[in-house]
Amino acid sequence: MPHHTPLIATIAVGFVLAYLLGALATRLRLSPLVGYLLAGILVGPFTPGFVADKALAHELSEIGVMLLMFGVGLHFSLKDLMAVKHIAIPGALVQIAVATLLGMGLAWTLDWSLGAGLVFGLALSVASTVVLLRALEERQLLDSRRGKIAIGWLIVEDLVMVLTLVLLPALAGVLGGEAQGGAEAGAWLPLLSTLGKVSLFIALMVLVGRRLLPWLLERTAGSGSRELFTLAVLAIAMGVAYFAAQVFDVSFALGAFFAGMMLNESEHNHRAAEDSQALRDAFAVLFFVAVGMLFDPSILLQQPLAVLATFLIIVFGKSLAALAIVRAFGKPLSTALTISASLAQIGEFSFILVALGVGLGLLPEAGRDLILAGAILSILVNPLCFGLIDRLQPWLDRRERTAPADASGSAEAADDIPAIHATEHAILIGHGRVGSRISLRLHEEGVPLVIIEDNRARAQELREEGFSVVIGNAASTQVLELAKVAAARWLLIAIPNALEAGQIAVHARAANPGLDIIARAHFDAEVEYLSEHAADLVVMGEREIARVMFARLGLNSPQQRAPGSSAA
């Protein structure tokens, strides 16, 4: 192969390694982010073997950041924040201050400048949205009160970081880095000019973008072309980010964040999020790979104590601060512990911040390596923190039940996961086009039913209608356990993805050998696959349609052609 194709090589090797290591991490019950970062370290210049193109990886990761921030904007809801503002705002601000001071303390012992300490401390203070949302989702805590507080807290942290990203270039000169815009002495000038440009951009977005962008999306949706709709979403995300950077000198990240937030107002925001999900995921992976590439593992040997101190600040310093604040607000210990564990890690924002800090000459490269080491370690131990809380739960329950001051809190704790005590019940997975036709009927027939649904809004509505619902991906054994799969009689897998359905069936069979598993398929190959993967009966929608059409002709039903399938 004679051509020089560094872009293809970087993307291909990045994806393949990230996939392999991400899958391995998931198998080991770790966050896949750890796998992606390790993949980056492997293709980086500090480890032997293939070295990906650094400049290209950097540019790809910029796209990752844009799309990540676009996603944050799409999900940013002022309403969610307002509901928990009395605790989330002061909590996040105090915690940021504590973490920043701790980081500055460490920077001081390492003889770094004040500016370096500030960037380092701020980078330690913000948790990763990706890690937090995933941890809460796995534990069914997204819709719980404590989950909402943690998310609100994170939104405040994100907002402070967005502001920091905007202001840092303007303040770089004052803080001892490279002054931006050629102004050295008048530090206030670049600051004022940055603030002016940002305000102008925000005003433009709020006044024009808020109407124009959703309108554009609605017009495109009206055309009926799925492809054009997806293209519109991506054009808006990347277009606004690029335009913001070129015209207003704002970061790509902020531009994309606003683009997302403006679309949040559109009634098509869910579809916009769904349609751009695959691309956002893919580039987010490349972002983590690119970050891993920058990591020099020799820091672990050269400065083990500094790495340890960084890790301790993230996992203990920050969480103890959060714990104290939440307790000070009179919340029960279990709530405080969950919120602390959620925030005891750092991720994408920290990487963006240190990259900027190093670029501006504020932070030494060792600072970035410490942050990367701290992030990888903290993401690694995060599930352990939650595991510890799970272990403590019986003790916490007893303690909160006996402590009268926490009475309101224990009600809240009990509220978190509506307990499901079903036996001999049916479990219905997916409440979409198929599932919704089954649930009502089962209800009317008096069959005890537990629904598993991973679309939060849909699951919430079902709960309001009085159904027992577990929110989450049924492919997770934990989610199946919450639906009491071991005690169930039937499992109805009504989701369209056969690969996922096969995985669910295998897990369920392992937990309950006597379970009657009925699955949905759309292709002959899927029927075969599901029959081989523990399903007792596979119903193929297309075949049933053909059967009914044929029956209408008044003739006998045609021969079944594939094994394992059967008429419903």
Residues that bind ligand AMP (CB under 6 A): 429-434, 452-455, 458, 473-475, 495-497, 500
| Tokens found for residue 484 | 């009491």
406: DSSP letter: G
304 or 432: CB nearest ligand AMP: 432
Nearer to ligand AMP, 499 or 546 (CB): 499
* Tally of helices (H runs) and strands (E runs) in the chain: 26, 6
Indicate the residue among 29 and 437 with the shorter CB distance to ligand AMP: 437
The nearest distance, CB 431 to ligand AMP, in angstroms, is: 5
If the CB atoms of residues 334 and 512 are measured against ligand AMP, the closer one turns out to be 512
For residue 146, the minimal CB distance to ligand AMP (Å) is 23
d(CA 341, CA 374): 15
Nearer to ligand AMP by Cβ, of 398 and 433: the residue is 433
Query: In the complex, what is the shortest distance from the CB of residue 140 to ligand AMP, in angstroms, rounded to a whole number?
Result: 12
Q: How far is the CB of 437 from ligand AMP (least distance, A)?
A: 9
The CB-based long-range contact list for 399-407 (8 Å cut-off, 24+ gap) reads 399/333, 400/332, 400/333, 400/334, 405/330, 406/332, 406/333
Residue 387 vs 432, nearer CB to ligand AMP: 432
| Rounded CA separation 304/515 (Å) | 52
Q: Which is nearer to ligand AMP, 391 or 456 (CB)?
A: 456
Q: Give the nearest distance from C-beta 170 to ligand AMP in angstroms.
A: 44
Which amino acid appears at position 425 of this protein? Answer: H
Question: Closest CB to ligand AMP among 80 and 500?
Answer: 500
**Residue 469: φ, ψ to 5°:** -130, 135
In the DSSP assignment, the letter for residue 519 is E
Indicate the residue among 460 and 497 with the shorter CB distance to ligand AMP.
Answer: 497
C-beta of residue 291 within 8 angstroms of C-beta of residue 64: no
Beta carbon of residue 369, minimum distance to ligand AMP (angstroms, whole number): 38
Residues 6+ apart with CB under 8 A from 232: 216, 217, 220
Whether 257 and 162 have beta carbons less than 8 Å apart is answered as yes
Q: How far is the CB of 444 from ligand AMP (least distance, A)?
A: 20
What length does the chain have?
Answer: 568
What is the nearest approach in angstroms of ligand AMP to the Cβ of residue 433?
4
DSSP-derived letter for residue 450 is E
Q: Cβ distance 53 to 6 under 8 Å? A: yes
Q: Which long-range contacts (CB under 8 A, 24 or more apart) does 15-23 make?
A: 15/282, 15/285, 15/286, 17/42, 17/43, 17/289, 18/285, 18/286, 18/288, 18/289, 22/285
The CB-of-439 to ligand AMP minimum distance in angstroms stands at 11
**Whether 557 contacts 564, CB under 8 Å:** no
Name the residue nearer to ligand AMP (CB basis): 219 or 456: 456
Q: Residue 348 or 453: which CB sits closer to ligand AMP?
A: 453
- 165 vs 540, which CB is nearer to ligand AMP? 540
| Nearest distance in Å: CB 358, ligand AMP | 40
Q: Which lies closer to ligand AMP via its Cβ, residue 240 or residue 475?
A: 475
Distance CA 170, CA 319 (A): 31
User: How far out from the chain centre does Cα 260 lie?
Assistant: 16
Q: Are 228 and 243 in contact (CB under 8 A)?
A: no
The distance of closest approach from Cβ of residue 456 to ligand AMP in the complex, given in angstroms and rounded to an integer, is 9
For ligand AMP, the nearest residue by Cβ is 432
Measured from the Cβ of residue 293, the count of other Cβ atoms closer than 10 Å reads 26
Q: How far is the CB of 520 from ligand AMP (least distance, A)?
A: 8
Contact assessment for residue 364 and residue 112, using Cβ atoms and an 8 Å cutoff: yes
What tokens appear for 92 in the block? 């996040």
Regarding beta strands 468-471 and 449-453, do their DSSP bridges make them parallel or antiparallel, or are they unpaired? Answer: parallel
Q: How far is the CB of 495 from ligand AMP (least distance, A)?
A: 4
Answer positive or negative: Cα dihedral of 382, 282, 278, 16.
negative
Rounded Cα gap, residues 344 and 336, in angstroms = 12
Q: What share of the chain is helix, strand, coil (3-state, %, to 5)?
A: 70, 5, 25
